[in-house]
């Protein structure tokens, strides 16, 4: 789910929401929804004007069927509380939230977010291969944002290129982590707001789920580190480590198979041995995710303009 108002492949007027069409509506007599920016399986994103503060914002409107059950509503309000508490340049903030009725009378829960212009990391992956140093810098930014999330006792659980927006700040790529809707609080003061997942329910996107998620084991910040490892693997090789042909095959691979070598998958990329080891550590699996939770810095650096050593310090 993106909240970008630029770089869309389709003109705004040709987009159609998957939920109720709220274009032209004013929510809570304050937020005038002018255009649809993007849509997803759970929510639609609109460009809007805050009539009170006279600023452009993005509105994330949850589809009514995803806001009926008490657990769904708790998850939504958790996202609002979590996003409001985070103040970090690499995590999207949440300005406000509210509830309105659709024309059909159903409740529409919504979040108010900054209006950002950029492209998702998925869109960037469709372009020619990214230089390794650039890929490492983006992963450093992603890990910095996640560290702030983890400080609050939360785990994102749905990291993927679609949830990473790249905007331009002072002429350089700046990554912003989006969509805290599946984040789970595992410790700290927000515990009472944590949604409970149904037994056997899979949270996350299959290509990026951690071994713990695949095995239905307790989730810790190490699950997010694993997903970062998958994203970095994809940036380096243009492929995820476990593509699979069925959901069961992908889950089984995440649960038990060792990740392939990035050097073997991309022999012409000039990937250093240290960077190879760094990716392998992020994708470690075994009886415990402990190697992904270590913060010690081994001797040596992965090179690549110093970005590798900075990434090592964050993994």
The set of catalytic residues is: 158
Helix (H, G, I), strand (E, B) or coil at 106: coil
The Cα–Cα gap between 57 and 48 comes to: 5
With beta carbons less than 8 A apart as the criterion, state whether 181 and 259 touch.
no
Least Cα distance to 208 among 174, 140, 259, 173 occurs for: 259
Q: What are the structure tokens assigned to 182, written together?
A: 């599946």
Strands in the chain per DSSP E: 26-27, 31-39, 43-50, 55-62, 96-101, 107-114, 119-120, 154-155, 164-169, 172-177, 184-185
Which stretch of DSSP H or E encloses residue 61? Answer: strand 55-62
CA 21 – CA 186 distance, rounded (Å): 36
Exposure on the CB side of residue 230, measured as CA atoms within 13 A: 26
**How many CB atoms neighbour CB 181 within 10 A?**
26
C-alpha 77/C-alpha 172 separation (Å) is 33
> H-helix or E-strand containing 100?
strand 96-101
280: nearest Cα among 229, 213, 215: 229
CA-based radius of gyration for the chain: 20
């Amino acid at each position: 789910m993106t909240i970008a108002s630029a770089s869309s492949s389709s003109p705004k007027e040709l987009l159609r929401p998957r939920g109720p069409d709220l274009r032209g509506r004013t929510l809570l007599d304050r937020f005038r929804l002018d255009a649809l920016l993007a849509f997803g399986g759970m929510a639609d994103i609109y460009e809007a004007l805050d009539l009170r503060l006279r600023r452009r914002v993005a509105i994330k409107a949850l589809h009514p069927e995803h806001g009926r059950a008490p657990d769904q509503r708790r998850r939504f309000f958790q996202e609002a509380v979590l996003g409001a508490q985070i103040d970090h340049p690499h995590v999207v903030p949440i300005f406000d939230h509210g509830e309105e009725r659709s024309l059909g009378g159903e409740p529409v829960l919504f979040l108010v977010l900054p209006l950002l212009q950029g492209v998702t990391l998925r869109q960037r992956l469709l372009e020619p291969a990214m230089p390794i140093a650039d890929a490492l810098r983006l992963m450093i930014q992603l890990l910095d944002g996640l560290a702030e999330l983890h400080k609050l006792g939360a785990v994102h659980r749905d990291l993927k290129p679609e949830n990473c927006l790249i905007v331009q700040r002072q002429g350089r790529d700046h990554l912003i982590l989006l969509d805290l809707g599946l984040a789970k609080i595992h410790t700290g003061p927000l515990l009472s707001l944590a949604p409970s997942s149904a037994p056997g329910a899979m949270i996350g996107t299959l290509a990026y789920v951690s071994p713990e998620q695949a095995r239905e084991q307790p989730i810790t910040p190490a699950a997010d580190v694993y997903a970062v490892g998958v994203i970095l693997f994809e940036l380096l090789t243009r492929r995820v480590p476990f593509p699979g042909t069925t959901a069961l095959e992908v889950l089984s691979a995440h649960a038990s198979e060792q990740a392939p070598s990035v050097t073997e998958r991309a022999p012409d990329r000039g990937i250093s041995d240290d960077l190879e080891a760094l990716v392998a550590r992020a994708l470690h699996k075994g009886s415990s995710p402990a190697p992904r939770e270590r913060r010690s810095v081994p001797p040596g650096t992965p090179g690549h303009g110093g970005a590798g050593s900075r990434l090592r310090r964050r993994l």
